[in-house]
Each structure stands twice: as structure tokens, then as C-alpha cells.
Amino acid sequence: MSKAADTPVLRARGLRKEYGKGEGLVRAVDGVDLDIRAGETVAIMGPSGCGKSTLLHLLGGLDRPSGGEVLLNGRRIDDISEKSLARMRRTDVSYVFQSFHLMEELTAVENVELSALLAGRSPRAARRRAEQLLDQLGLAERMRFLPSALSGGQRQRVAVARALSNEPLIVLADEPTGNLDSAATLDVLQLFNELHEYGQTLVIVTHDARIAATADRMFAMRDGALVDQTRLTGGTTGKLGALVGLED
Amino acid sequence: MQQEVVLAMLAKEPSHGYELRARLRDALGPLGDAMNAGHIYVTLTRLEKAGLVAVEASADRSDRKVYALTPDGQQRVAEWIAEVSWPKPDLAEFHLKLLAAASAGLADPLTIVDTQRRELLRRLRDAQRAAMAEPERSNAALLLEGIVLRLQADLRWLEACEQNWTQRRSGS
């Protein structure tokens, strides 16, 4: 196998984030090791306050660690300059947030093309890519709508289209269904399955079991540390019958 | 599966065993795959012995048996439809396992919670994928949604167990 295939898209080693000092010291992230391979969907689950959002911020370069390393495609990003970090956030990593973070005064297609423009695409290429993505995500009819005219599920679809518009190495999602009702959650679930089939590398931080269950691997996080991991693929369909009284 | 389920499927009209199987497959989708094909015929034979169904002469003169409800069978179906029943998840057993493990120092309750969560998440993944593969509003999709919702409820309770045992361990 080539070196490129061996290198995880994202790697963390001994990652730490601390707040405060002395008695008030909080270890939000406490020695995390993590390898995410290309095309993988990984879910990180844990109760609120366990440090999972902080971990996601460290992985995507939104925040600097107190210690340890983060490598994106084999290159350190925890100690690079603010300028390089900003460039990396525009081109290599995308976020999907709980509260969508769309620009309310821009239409759906303008929201989506913006991140491609920031990543350095020509206006024409950015618009073409944005229209294509919205079409793929079933929003062809609503491209010129403002976010306020869209449902929660549709807004999250626009946010996902925006996350994909700069063709990032990895998409990081922070409680992507936190603000959605169950029908819209199903919509996002379906969407993440499609992204997975398309080969997009995806890390999802969530306490929603339905979203976590779309992943290939799941990590449980407690008190800043990853305490359990499991592969969810290679399932148990036979046993589903037991849940409805069809089998013993 | 309960005999009453097979009995109730005959309430609409007298049917061959294979017709009942086809209806079950439609109602259960992928969950029906796990069922033993011979089960329905064994059940029909038992119901016949109990006087709840009777074999009618086949209209197409094939040697396949057509089963019909007897008056007793109709009575039993009516009772079954009116019964209130619901499968019971065995939460007490798991709860007592955590307590026993903790008090005797047999295992860390949080490790037991983690193990249980892995299994439930795998099932949730399977159920969700099966549900998404079904056409919208199919009978099987509705059943799978029930499984998904139950698993979600169980996983939420596990979350509560996790928080509770984390607090107990840290002595707060």
C-alpha cells in the first residue's frame, strides 16, 4: 500500500485542552488519540460537558490545544501560524453546526458558493458547484430562497452543501440534529448516508443515537477522554426480530 | 409467534398457507426473513386440532389446503383483538446487574453500560438502514420505525445509567 493510503486523514496524539489553573483546572480534553481514515464516518458520543465539542474544535483547527498533536493528511496543524490555519480552514476542513450558521441575508445558493469563493474558486466555478450540490441535495427548487423561508431540515441541507462546496478533506459536524424535529432528523440521517456512500470523510459529535448509528465507528467520551470504541458495521439483523417478538 | 397472529390473518378470507406467508412477508419486510418457513404450517395444524380452523375444499381442486376460521376461531380472534398486551423490555434485569456488579466489585458498571450501548447501536444501525431501504409508508417500514424508537428509548436510559454511575463513582 502506498504511504498516502496508510496516512489517516486526521490523526490526534495525546491531545489535551485545559482551562483555568490550580484548584479550578478543567481538563476538557484529556489525552485523546484518534485516527480517522479516508471515507470513514466516525461518531463521538457522550453526555453534555464531556468535552466532545472542544475535541471537535481542536481537530478542525478552530481552537489550539494545550498539548499533543493534530495531523491533517500527515501534516501538523496544531502549531502552524494563524495565517496557515485560516487557509486550512477555508480549503481542507468544513463544519456543520447545530444552529446551521447560515447568513440570513444571503440566498441558499449564495450561502453555498461563499465558501468555495473563500477557498479561491472563480465566481463562475463557485456558482456552478453550488447549484450542482443543491440540486444533488434535493433543493433545486429552493436555491434562491433566503434561509428564513426554509424548514430546519432544508437549512441543515444548505449547511451541508456549503460544507461540501470547497471539496474538503474532512467534514466535522457538531450536533447536526440538535435543533431538528424527528422528520428533519431523518432527512439529515439520509443525507449523511449519502455522503458516506459518496466517500466523504466525516466526524460527527452528537448525543443523538440515531445519528451516531449511521457511523462506521463510534467512540464514547467521558470526562475528556475516549473511553470506549466500537465498529458498528457487520451487524446483527437476525436479532432485530427478537425486538418485536419474532424470535427468542 | 403467537397462534392468534396466524388465526387473525384468516379473518379476512379463507386462505392457503402460502398466501399467509406472503402476507407476513409484506407486513414484516426484512424481519420476516428470519422466520422459519415451516412455522406457519405447524401452527395451522395445531389450530386445526384445537378446532379453531377447519380445512375447506379447494376451489381450484389442487391438493393445497384452504384454511378457514371456525366459529370458535372467530371468537378467539375477537378476544385477541380486544386484549391489551405489550412486549415487556427486561430493564430490571439490567438494572440489578449493574447494582450487583458495583456492590460486589465484579465489574465496573460503566463498562457494562458501554458494552450494552455498543450492541444497541449496532441494532439501531441495522434497523435504520432496513427502514431507509423500505418504500415509504410500507407495512414493514412502520414496524421498523417501532424498533428504532424502542432502541432510542433504551439508549436514552443507558445514558441516564451512565450519568448516574459516573456521579456515584466520583462520590458526588
CB contact under 8 A, A246 and B163: no
A27 forms bridges with which residues in the sheet? A18
CATH class (in words) of the domain with range B3-82: mainly alpha
pTM for the model stands at 0.81
When pLDDT is cut at 50, 70 and 90, the band that residue B24 belongs to is confident
For chain B, give the mean pLDDT. 87
Q: How far is B13 from chain A (nearest CA, A)?
A: 24
Query: Which residue of B31, B118, B128 is in closest CB contact with A210?
Result: B128
CA B20 to chain centre: 17
B107 interfaces chain A, CB cutoff of 8 Å? no
When pLDDT is cut at 50, 70 and 90, the band that residue A130 belongs to is very high
When pLDDT is cut at 50, 70 and 90, the band that residue A2 belongs to is very low
B167 interfaces chain A, CB cutoff of 8 Å? no
pLDDT higher than threshold 80 for residue B133: yes
Q: What angle do CA A223, B149, A218 make, to 5 degrees?
A: 35
DSSP class of residue B52?
A: S
Tell me the residues of A at the B interface, defined by beta carbons under 8 Å apart. Answer: 47, 189-190, 193, 207, 209-210, 212-214, 218, 220, 222-223, 227-228, 230, 232-233, 235-241, 243-247
Whether ipTM exceeds 0.95: no
Residue type, A204: I
Closest CA relative to residue A223, chosen from A34, A22, A60, A26: A26
pLDDT in tens, A77-94: 999 999 999 888 888 999
Q: Are β-strands A93-97 and A170-174 bridged in parallel, bridged antiparallel, or unpaired?
A: parallel
pLDDT at residue A206, rounded to an integer = 92
Query: Which residue of A190, A228, A235 is in closest CB contact with B125?
Result: A235
Q: What number of other Cβ atoms are within 10 A of residue A136's Cβ?
A: 14
- Within 8 A by CB and 6+ apart from A235, the residues are B122, B123, B125, B126
Question: Position of cell 462506521?
Answer: A216
Q: What number of other Cβ atoms are within 10 A of residue A140's Cβ?
A: 11
pLDDT in tens, B74-105: 999 989 888 887 767 778 889 989 998 888 88
Residue type, A35: D
pLDDT at residue B76, rounded to an integer = 92
CB contact under 8 A, B124 and A236: no
